[in-house]
Chains A and B, each alone.
Chain A
Amino acid sequence: MSERKSKLWRTIKFFSERIPLHKMSFESMVSKKEVPVHHMSWAYYMGGLTLLFFSIQMITGIFLLFYYQPTVSDAHASVEYITFFVKSGFLVRNLHTWSSSCMILCLMIHMITAFAMKSFARPRELTWISGSLLLILTFSFGFTGYLLPWHQIAVNATKVVLQSIEEAGRYLPGALSTLPTYIKEIIQGEASVGQATLSRFYALHVVVLPLLFFGALGLHLLSVQLHGMSQGIDKLAKKSEKFFPFFILKDFWLWGLVFLVVFILSLCLPFESFYSYPLFEAYDALGSTPDGIKPEWYFYFLYYPLEILPFWVVMLGMGISSIGLFMVPWIFKNTSRKVLSIIAWIIAAYLIIMTFFGQLIYEIFKGSHS
């Protein structure tokens, strides 16, 4: 009985340390909050930027809902309608695509810098975990949103990804081997990617994921505000600046500047101009798959290894690293920030190399065809 009580007691203690509700006051969250000033201070802005891009996504996403039609016969036409006929429609759509990429970029930088600065250390474990959840949710946003325009590259890339889930079945024993197919069909909703898939992805993209995202975001922001900024460097920073009004003003300036840049970018340059047009024709179920089917750039770090290495190696790596992601606060509990930043550089180098040179590496291993 006493042991049980102590277990309960420990759980309560754990959470009360991670969510210090006694700090939930204007004084500690606003007027007394300070931001350390040191050579990594710029990283304190990355989370805010990600939030800015999420807000842009939310607003432009709602705008797009006014015209988008989620059926296989109308989806592509409605997206074309938005792009070519609705006033400022191209702007809203370009903003949505540009800002999705920017959001993921900022999120990755935010996560890598938070890792290097050991911002996950006790008592901030829950901040890290909610952040990791947000990362996964953001990738899911990217994956589900990619299908919605229902053009060639979207449908075919989705098909390939879903089919590779099924591929995992080859490495599972006995009755388990049909499990991946089962999962794939749950996601897909029918035997192949079609109306059921579109409806599901649509529902996920505009209702389910946003709701989950708000939950995780609330927890994330609350715990950031309650705990304050982490110190970020091994030695205590010599200087700090007040969160309010100075840091938050600078934050707003940066937001304004970044919004201006993305706005102009969306006015001038469709994100799709980086691809060849046939990929953006309406999906043709009866024709052959066109050349150059690829996922979005932010999946390259996963896509190219999948192309080059044996499937099970990638799956194993994925599994380990996604469990590792959530366990970071405990795995690196006693690691110095110096070592952490070396690891962070390695991760960053991997992501950059795979994103920029993935195609090259692929061709070196597999030879190019033309």
Chain B
Amino acid sequence: MFDLFLFIGLPYAAMMSLVAGSIVRYKSNAFSYSSLSTQFLENRWLAWASLPFHFGMFVILSGHLLAFAFPNLWSILVSAPAFLMVVETLGMMAAGLCLVALMILLVRRFVDVKLQAVTSHLDVVVLLILLFQVSSGLGVAINHRWGASWAPGALGPYLHGIFLLNPDVSYLKDMPPLIKLHIVLAWVLILFFPFTRLVHALSLPFLYFTRAPQKVVWTSSPSHVRFEKTVAMDTERRLFLKASLGTGVAVALLSLGALDKFFRYFLKQDLTNAEEAHILSQKLQRLKQSAEERELELERMNKDMIFVAALSSLSQTKGKYFIDYQMRPALAFRDQDGFPIVLSAKCTHLGCTVGQDVDGQGRVLCPCHISYFDIKTGEPSLGSPAKDPLPHLGWALKDEQGSLLLSQDSDGRREGSADSARLERSLLFIVKRFS
């Protein structure tokens, strides 16, 4: 029952508060939509806390958002061990940054008199919740390793349920308390969001990215500005030198890293015996395959008939692939009447090779653009991108002694005859003069 409150009641309350609270606050007091910066009051510690905190938070939030918004893409990504490693490391580093920064921020609020004057209770509460939240997150990351990999699958459905108005807490039933705490605190943060300084996250200065740079000018001209003018020429040169030096060092470091990898590319490979054997056997297999293809080609130039299969080995439901006289793929089936069906397997649409499996309606499928062909007539079914039928090939049946029993040309004219017993033992050939 309490779970229902924490994981269903609280989230909806939090989201209501987020939406309604933010709007009401903006409408009633738009100017309060800020973090009420204390930079003018205390600058030194802030630099060491605010920047790391925001960097870290950005990384952590993007990670959470990506993982829960695109669980499929994310699971592909994290299935690469290197990526998972990088994500987890980055996340932990970011959490560490946030943790240290939050502590500095808290201490700063307590030790500086000027700050205490402007600090509200909520400011402290927000800092504390954030501190607990980041600590619990880090705790989860350390105690229940590889959260980037398991969390989208284990917690994603619960979150999606919340957003699809179909919440299901059963996913959370067996979760360790630390994880539950992390989730509850997240909702609490959202609940508090519109009433605290956190709202400044909603006022993003997007225009900064595209507008032309502006120079902030003092209304009175302070001494340092006048000084600036006199040394402008000098700094321009110095800026260039410094920048080139910096760029040079960066390029050098980058090249060092890249060249270290690239240099090895040209070294001799030290392979184990097994690896070399594997490579060699694979190579031989491929060469054999090529040789076989060449042999097939030569055979088709020289011979008047090419052996396909024993008729009895052919099936009604699964075709046998072979290569026709034009070196194109073809399929052989056995019809219900016991005679063979031999037709080209090159799709008449864009030339893919059609599949060998016959479906319930006696058709084979070309997977490229979904054309179905009737194997008896070769005709494509209505709506297929292919418009022309798969052509039938001429064939001949011989008995074991090699004497011709029966033949059929590509138009279906049959010559000769055979009883069923001899048919059963006969061998199927394709014939040059029919092609």
Q: Interface residues, chain A, CB within 8 Å of chain B? A: 37-39, 41-42, 63, 66, 72-74, 76-77, 80-81, 85-89, 91-92, 156, 159-160, 163-164, 167, 191-192, 237-239, 245-246, 249, 252-253, 256, 259-260, 263-264, 267-269, 273-274, 282, 285-291, 293, 307, 366, 369
Contact = CB atoms under 8 A, between A and B. Distances in A.
Given A256-B250, A256-B251, A274-B76, A285 B293 contact: yes
A268 B251 CA distance: 21
A268 to B, nearest CB: 4
Given A38-B212, A160-B350, A288-B356, 6 more contacts: A87-B267, A238-B212, A269-B80, A288-B329, A293-B367, A293-B368
Given A85-B271, A253-B247, A288 B369 contact: no
B321 interface: yes
Contacts of A267: 82
B289 interface: yes
Contacts of B250: 253, 256
Query: B80, B271, B356, B367 — which one has the most chain A CB atoms within 10 A of its CB?
Result: B367
B351 A85 contact: no
B264 A87 contact: yes
Contacts of B82: 267-269
B269 A159 contact: no
Query: A86, A88, A156 — which one has the most chain B CB atoms within 10 A of its CB?
Result: A88
A163 to B, nearest CB: 4
Contacts of A285: 293, 329
Q: What 8 pairs across the A-B complex have the smallest Cβ distances?
A: A73-B290, A87-B264, A289-B352, A163-B351, A163-B350, A268-B82, A245-B240, A88-B261
B269 A86 contact: yes
B326 A156 contact: no
A286 B297 CA distance: 13
A310 to B, nearest CB: 11
Nearest to A284: B289
Given A37-B213, A286-B329, A293-B352, A89 B265 contact: yes
Interface in B314-333: 321, 323, 326-329
Given A76-B286, A288-B354, A288-B356, A269 B265 contact: no
A37 B286 contact: no
A35 to B, nearest CB: 12
Contacts of B328: 192
B54 interface: no
A74 B321 contact: no
B244 A92 contact: no
Nearest to B85: A268
B171 to A, nearest CB: 28
A86 B326 CA distance: 39
Contacts of A256: 247, 250-251, 254
Contact of B264 (A73, A80, A88, A290): A88
A80 B278 CA distance: 12
Task: Say whether chain A's binding surface is mostly helix, strand, loop, or mixed.
Answer: helix
Interface in B364-378: 366-370
Interface in B203-221: 210-213
B94 interface: no
9 contacts: A39-B210, A39-B211, A86-B269, A87-B264, A91-B265, A249-B243, A263-B258, A285-B293, A289-B354
Contact of B83 (A73, A88, A269, A366): A269
Contacts of A307: 369
B77 interface: yes
A204 to B, nearest CB: 21
B86 A268 contact: yes
A362 to B, nearest CB: 10
Interface in B359-396: 366-370
Contacts of B321: 286-288
Given A39-B212, A85-B271, A92 B265 contact: yes
Contacts of A291: 367
B256 interface: no
A253 B254 CA distance: 12
Contacts of A252: 247, 251
A275 to B, nearest CB: 11
Contact of A249 (B247, B262, B323): B247
A92 B264 CA distance: 11
A81 B286 CA distance: 14
A249 B366 CA distance: 54
Nearest to B213: A37
Contacts of B79: 273
Contact of B286 (A42, A259, A282): A282
B282 interface: yes
B254 A73 contact: no
Interface in B254-291: 254, 257-258, 261-262, 264-267, 269, 271, 275, 279, 282-283, 286-287, 289-290
A287 B262 contact: no
